[in-house]
Amino acid sequence: MPNLRFTTKPLSDWMRGSAADSEIVISSRVRIARNLQHIPFPMLATNSQSEEVLDKLTAVLDDEEAHQFGHFHILKMAELSDLDKRVLVEKHLISPNLASESRNGAALISEDESVSIMVNEEDHLRIQCLYPGFQVKEAWERATALDDVFEAHAEYAFDDKRGYLTSCPTNVGTGLRASVMMHLPALSMTQQINRILSAVSQVGLTVRGIYGEGSEAIGNLFQISNQITLGQTELEIIENLHSVVMQIISQERTARQRLLSESRLRISDRIMRSYGILKHAAIMDAKEAGQRLSDVRLGIDLGILQEPSIPVLNELNVMIQPGFLQKTFNDQMHASERDMYRAQLIRTTLGTTP
């Protein structure tokens, strides 16, 4: 029976930690893609071949060198309900591809959920490390150390000219995808966001929504990651992302101070209105909830509001998602019903009597 505690609690333990620049950078993530030599990539592998990959990679965690990374729980996709898989996607512990299209797919998740190793996703192996705040370098160090453990026990598909071989050409080379989740409300309010995000794309980075490629940037949350994996070293990729993000952090802080100095009453009114609506609304769709929570988070960071706490806001960002709502209320629901339950959950979490 799979361990379903990962789908019943909204906030991963790693998200409770504090880190530098966490008022703007919500989280940092590094993902490394690898494939095994002499076994077809997942899209072409037979059932027995994908089983072999799963057995081989899960066995690595029994090695003494892997114990430094803590205990891992094995969640096989075939043993999970569609709802549980959706919740894992909403918590960023697995990808939509692993949830819907994998054969003998599994996620090996650490106790605090800061490491998620996906097996038989688009590639045989995807190592993901998550950290709170702006800790992309720390996430990289942990991910590459874990990669070394796997590489000591499994021969990777590697080409001397092209580097690590992957199913998608955009990952060939280092196989590295480093990203940060940034909260940029002031740049959005001062209408600077489009100019900045356009500039980001000119330096080998890309901007996505909260669930990666094809997703919408809701609640002023933007995922910024490297676009190039070939022709640069891993450290060059990390340093480029780090440098650009530092500049965006500086511009967001400047924009926040500008809002306070030039429009303090107006921004305070917006923040307090959003907080009041969250505490008393009877219905609320996901987009509005995301925007209102963004306003409240900004209010906390600017000292305009003293509550709720940032961990509560982080919890709510997961709890208001469709899968987690359905999991919480144990009920199939239409969109209109989700809006009602979402508002109820927000009121309850913020301590307002329904």
The tens place of each residue's pLDDT in the chain, 354 residues long, gives: 455 678 888 888 888 877 889 999 999 999 999 999 999 999 999 999 999 999 999 999 988 888 889 899 999 999 999 999 999 999 999 999 999 888 899 999 999 999 999 999 999 999 999 999 999 999 999 999 999 999 999 999 999 999 999 999 989 999 999 999 999 999 999 999 889 888 898 888 998 766 555 445 678 999 999 988 888 999 999 999 999 999 999 999 999 999 999 999 999 999 999 999 999 999 999 999 999 999 999 999 999 999 999 999 999 999 999 999 998 887 678 888 899 999 999 999 998 655
Question: Does the predicted model carry a pTM greater than 0.85?
Answer: yes
Domain extents in the chain: 1-12+30-161, 264-349
* Contact criterion met (CB below 8 Å) for 109 and 93: yes
Distance CA 297, CA 81 (A): 33
Residues contributing to the annotated binding site for ATP: 27-31, 92, 126, 177-181, 208-213
- Cα angle: 175, vertex 165, 237; to 5 degrees: 25
Give the pLDDT score at 101.
80
CATH code: domain 1-12+30-161 is 3.30.590.10
CB of 126 within 8 A of CB of 32?
yes
Predicted pLDDT of residue 353? 53
Task: Note the pLDDT of residue 334.
Answer: 84
Q: Residues forming the annotated binding site? A: 27-31, 92, 126, 177-181, 208-213
Asked if residues 315 and 257 have their Cβ atoms less than 8 Å apart, the reply is no
Angle, helices 322-329 vs 335-349, to 10°: value is: 80
Q: What is the pLDDT of residue 141?
A: 96
Residue 215's pLDDT is 47
What sign results for the dihedral spanned by CA atoms 204, 210, 211, 213?
A: negative
